[in-house]
A and B are shown apart, each in its own frame.
Chain A
Amino acid sequence: MALLEVRDLAVGFDTEDGRVRAVDGVSFDVDQGGALGIVGESGSGKSVTALTLLGLTRARNADITGSVAFAGRELLGAPERELRQVRGGEIGIVFQDPLSSLHPLKTVGAQLVEAHRAHRDVSRAAARERAAELLDLVGIRDARRRLDSYPHELSGGMRQRVMIAMAVINEPRLLIADEPTTALDVTVQAALLDLLRRLRRELGMALLLVSHDLAVVAQLCDEIAVMYAGRIVERGPTATLLEEPEHPYTWGLLGSIPRLDRPRARRLQPIPGRPPSAIDRPSGCAFHPRCPYARDEHRRRGPPLVPADPEADQGHQVACLLGRSARRALWAALRDGGDPEEAMRRAGLADAGEGRA
Chain B
Amino acid sequence: MGAAPEPTPGRRLSGARAAMALFIARRLLWTLVLLVAISAITFLLFHLLPAADPAVARAGRQPTPEQVAAIREQLGLDRPWYVQLGDYVRGVFLEFDLGHSFINEAPVGELVGDRLPNTLALIAGAAVVWLLAALVVGTVSATRPGSRADRLLMLGALVAISAPVYWLGLVSLYLFSSDLGVLPLLPGSGAYDTADGVLEKAGALVLPWIVLATSFAAIYARLLRSGLREALSEDYVRTARAKGLSERRVVLAHALPAAVTPLVTVLGMDLGILVGGAILTETVFGIDGIGRLAFEAVQRGDLATIQGTTLVLAAAVALMNLVVDLLYAVIDPRVRR
Contact = CB atoms under 8 A, between A and B. Distances in A.
Contact of A56 (B236, B238, B246): B238
A150 B239 contact: no
Contact of A150 (B6, B146, B247, B334): B334
A118 B238 contact: no
Interface in A67-86: 80, 84-86
A150 B258 CA distance: 15
A105 B333 contact: yes
A161 to B, nearest CB: 15
A142 B235 contact: no
Interface string B1-27: 010001011001100000000000000
Interface string B234-277: 11101111111111000000100110010000000000000000
A166 B146 CA distance: 34
B332 interface: yes
Which of A85, A93, A105 is packed against the most chain B CB atoms within 10 Å? A105
B175 interface: no
Contacts of A102: 236, 239
B236 A118 contact: no
Interface string A45-63: 0000000001010001000
A97 B332 CA distance: 20
A118 B239 CA distance: 13
Nearest to A148: B9
Nearest to A167: B242
Given A114-B245, A142-B6, A103 B333 contact: no
Interface in A144-171: 144-145, 148, 150, 152-153, 163, 166-167
A173 interface: no
Nearest to A51: B238
Given A105-B332, A150-B333, A152-B334, A87 B236 contact: no
Contacts of B242: 54, 56, 87-88, 93, 95, 167
Measured as residues with beta carbon below 8 angstroms from the partner, the interface class of chain A is 35 or more
A88 B238 CA distance: 12
A173 to B, nearest CB: 14
B54 to A, nearest CB: 53
A93 to B, nearest CB: 5
B59 interface: no
A119 interface: yes
Contacts of B240: 103
A145 B9 contact: yes
A88 B261 CA distance: 28
Interface of A: 54, 56, 60, 80, 84-89, 93, 95, 97, 100-105, 107, 114-115, 118-119, 141-142, 144-145, 148, 150, 152-153, 163, 166-167
